[in-house]
Structure 1
Amino acid sequence: MDKLKKVLSGQDGNDDTNVLEAANRASTLSWSTRIKGFAVCFVIGGVCAVLGVCLLFLPKIGLILFIVFYTFGNICTLASTMFLLGPLKQLKTMCEKTRAFATILMLLFLALTLCAAFWWKNFWLALVFCILQVISFAWYGLSYIPFARDAVLKLFALCIK
């Protein structure tokens, strides 16, 4: 009855909430369900990445299968953390000052890998983007470990000298 009143009065649920807040409210999963969702997505991501590496050596279609499975695996792995934190907090965390650039690069290389493979049909460019995807995903992951990126930069500086 309240919904009917809101619709008839022109207040059909268009509060001052945005889509992210609505998604966050809708994600009221129990802790055990969150852990199971995380584990399932993470395992699917890992299996896809390993399967992609195994399919890399097939003639003619191996490279494209590798790119597709590896990219899908990265997307699943990234989505798995949304089960633990919730979508709103995960997106806020991804856009924090310390990791915003790494997030942009990671998502950009995910998209460019798929564009190079399917739209431009340039498999070598897709492979380059896939390698950059691996590097950007690792750099993004290191942003969650305090001082890890500084340590990696110092290690590379020592190797260059």
Structure 2
Amino acid sequence: MDKVQRFFNPGEEQTEEQSGMMSEISGLSWDTRLKGFGLCLLVAVLLGIGSVIVYFLGNNLSGFAILYSVAVIFGLGSTIFLMGPMKQLKKMFDSSRLIATIVFLASIVMTLISALVIKSGILVLIFVIVQFLALGWYTISYIPFAR
């Protein structure tokens, strides 16, 4: 098994048969999935940087909220390439990270509502901070004994 694959699936020994089955189901080889992960993560970073630029140069709160939220979704979605969509959803809604997932997803929705409907800069800032903290909490939940 590839060292990178073991890193992303610690404690889960994957046989050649399972690896081949994942490639069959997704239609993507492990190398292609790694490239998809990297590309998605790059898009997330560029959108995140773009959101800050849009806000500071154009003072466009709605543009910032949309770009930032989409960047966060791309960042989270990048892991779908590594483990597949169903496994990702199962892990997201596992009891150990259910609250973090709900807070994270709700904060994305509230960020967009605050910017597009309510048009409140203070609320956007609060929900962006909540998004950041919830994503951190969610990420830490994957590290054994880190919570």
User: Is the contact between residue 49 and residue 70 of structure 1 (CA under 8 Å) also seen in structure 2?
Assistant: yes
TM-superposition CA deviations, 1:86-106 (whole Å, max 9, x none): 000000010111101100110
Please report how far the alpha carbon of residue 26 of structure 1 lies from its aligned counterpart in structure 2 after TM superposition: 5.3
1:31 alignment partner AA: W
* Corresponding position of 1:66: 64
Count of residue pairs brought into register by the alignment: 124
Question: How much identity, in percent, do the aligned residues show?
Answer: 42
Higher radius of gyration, 1 or 2: 1
Deviations 1:72-125 (A, max 9, x none): 110000110001100000000101111011001100101110111112222221
> How many angstroms apart in 2 are the aligned matches of 1:28 and 1:100?
29
Map Cα deviations across residues 21-61 of structure 1 (whole Å, 9 max, x no partner): xxxx8523111111111111011001111222233322532
Correspondence 1:16-95 to 2 at 5 A: 27-61=26-60, 63-95=61-93
Q: TM-score, length-normalised on structure 1?
A: 0.71
1:124 aligns with 2:122: yes
SS of the residue corresponding to residue 56 of structure 1 reads helix
Q: Which runs of 5+ in 1 are unaligned?
A: 1-24, 150-161
Cα distance change on mapping 1:26 and 1:122 into 2, 3 Å: farther
Q: Is the 8 A contact 1:64 1:123 kept in 2?
A: no
Bigger Cα displacement from structure 2, 111-120 vs 50-59: 50-59
Question: Comparing 123-132 with 76-85, which one deviates more in the overlay?
Answer: 123-132
After TM superposition, the score normalised by the length of structure 2 is 0.78
- Partner of residue 143, structure 1: 141
Runs of 4+ in 1 over 6 A off after TM superposition: none
Q: For the residues of structure 2 that align with 1:60 and 1:46, how far apart are their CA atoms?
A: 20
1:102 aligns with 2:97: no
- Give 3-state SS (helix, strand or coil) of 2:94's partner: coil
The alignment's C-alpha RMSD in Å is: 1.6
Distance 2:58 2:78 in 1: 32
Instruction: Structure 2 unaligned segments of length 5 or more: list them.
Output: 1-23
Query: Does structure 2 retain, via aligned residues, the 8 Å contact 1:99–1:143?
Result: yes
